[in-house]
Amino acid sequence: MELWTALLLGFFGSFHCVGMCGPIAMSIPRSSSSMGTLTLNAVIYNSGRILTYSIFGLIFGFLGAHITIAGLQGSLSIILGVIIVAGVIINRYFKGYIPTSFNRLTSLITRYYGKLIRKESYPALFGMGFLNGLLPCAFVYSGLAAAILTQTPYHSMAYMAIFGLGTFPAMYLMYLAPSILSLDLRNSIRKMVPYLAFALGIFLIVRGIALQDLQLSKVLSDGMEGFCIFPGTEMN
């Protein structure tokens, strides 16, 4: 996957952050009403969150690198695409029948997050952002699914860092002006996110089929080149 797609995925998917993480962003301490101070707080907080994403990207990037060396990147792309599409469908139609397996992790993170809120310091802000990045999030998992298909583990890390940067405007807006978006509007925006995830899943499936060289049409292959890095090819 090309790195610039991470910025688009992060930006358009950040509407999910508005709905899900908006309340978290609004919980960041406000020690001053100064625009400069608020901006610095937001940068420090989100730097911690982006660092978490980057670490995840590096870890999963090493896994993806081994799979690429084995010549199975196309299969991995298809599998990840199917998982994302299935996840969207399951969440839409069977959400009430699936046990929440991350409750214990979420509770643990929330507990430490609450302790840091009471500390008015820049390290605490950074730690809060880092913990925010650890919270289970299907949107972040979609980003990782794309990141794992990059050229190297370091590309994967950069992909998730850029992905995080793409989500910054939405989080920054919610921190500066939490009332600018009503709860109803945030919920409406959040409903659009599954469509983005579904589209990403379909894209990864098609990409995987193209990498399998299953005689796709030249038009489809040419169209994919702008978004994918095909093994054994050089990008100009």
Q: Which two tokens stand for residue 48?
A: 């911690």
Q: pTM for the full model?
A: 0.74
Q: Per mean pLDDT, which range of 80-89, 113-122, 174-183, 201-210 is the poorest?
A: 174-183
Q: What is the pLDDT of residue 85?
A: 84
Q: What is the pLDDT of residue 70?
A: 52
pLDDT digit string (tens) for 49-100? Answer: 999 999 999 998 887 776 665 556 677 788 888 888 887 787 777 665 545 5
Cα distance between residue 182 and residue 108, in whole Å: 29
pLDDT digit string (tens) for 191-211? Answer: 777 777 788 888 888 878 877
Range with top average pLDDT, 19-23, 129-133, 144-148, 190-194: 129-133
Reduced DSSP (H G I as helix, E B as strand, rest coil) percent helix, strand, coil of the chain, to 5 = 75, 0, 25
For the chain, how long is the longest CA-to-CA vector? 61
Q: What is the pLDDT of residue 233?
A: 46
Q: What is the pLDDT of residue 235?
A: 46
**Average pLDDT of 130-135?**
88
Q: Among all chains, which residue has been given the structure tokens 């599998």?
A: 79
Q: How many residues does the structure list for the chain?
A: 236
Q: What is the pLDDT of residue 231?
A: 45
Cα distance between residue 45 and residue 25, in whole Å: 9
